[in-house]
Amino acid sequence: MRLILILTALLAFQSAAAPEFDEMKALADKGLAWAQFNLALMYANGEGVPENDAEAVKWYRKAADQGDAGAQFNLGNRYRNGRGVPENHAEAVKWYRKAADQGEADAQLNLGFSYANGEGVPENNIRAYVWWSMAKTQGSTTAAGNLDKLKPMMTPQQIADGQALATKCYESGYKECD
């Protein structure tokens, strides 16, 4: 009996989600970035449609190419984890940077990880310091903790250079961060 109730609930959810999916697909096909992003999420999470990583990546890319920071961040995650695409840290950094430049704190956090670990970019503690500082200014406690762990591994000059570059980055609205 319990299994029948679960299956009935699942079928009801899927039938309710199908019109929402159809509507979102129609809007995404018209080229609306926000709809493309939402459609990608639906494919990524199996909402109203079977989970499909390749389709999620396709729609994330369409939205990301139009400048959607959330899609750029999620596309970066897909490349970092090799989900729906081959693992490629350099490509992940490319998409994180596009989102980070728009103020996406999670992308800034992940960009800091990339620099700290030398994933997709040469290891560079000053750049990790800069991007974690940007994420920290937006309230990321993870970035704050990472900075606390990073500072003891840096020379006083590296910290000063990181602080100066972080200030420049912040004051330029993330345009002068290199």
CA–CA gap between residue 176 and residue 168 (Å, rounded):
6
| pLDDT tens, N- to C-terminus, the chain (178 residues) | 554 544 444 444 444 456 788 899 999 999 999 999 999 999 999 988 999 999 999 999 999 999 999 999 999 999 999 999 999 999 999 999 999 999 999 999 999 999 999 999 999 999 999 999 999 999 999 999 999 999 999 999 999 999 999 999 999 999 999 9
Core vs surface per residue 45-60: b (16+ CB within 10 A) or e: eebbbeeeeebbbebb
